Structure 1
């Protein structure tokens, strides 16, 4: 994660694990300003696999319950 000092705009590259989800108080090495960085948002849940075929028993049951024309 890249962070920037709000006072002098010095930029730092910090590992995500050091910041965490809740954020962290940090101090600028150049001007010694302290501030709280925003946390890393949790990773989104994986999307369902679109290649998963529907259960054939459910499809057959739905077809048998359909009204006949």
Structure 2
């Protein structure tokens, strides 16, 4: 686990509301408001999913990305 949430201001819940960041010990978590329950989700797991998605998008559109960088 990690002590930072890389996408702290970008992660939203199912209703499009921004989630909070909290720490359980030294581990960063995104906190989802689930009615009367606060759900703590490991930030590293979420951040890795976001990074995988970014990587996939770049690989699928590599030609556009390369042209844009030149």
* TM-score of the pair, normalised by structure 1: 0.24
Richer in strand (by share): 2
Higher RCO (CA-CA < 8 Å; seq separation 6+): 2
Richer in helix (by share): 2
* TM-score of the pair, normalised by structure 2: 0.24
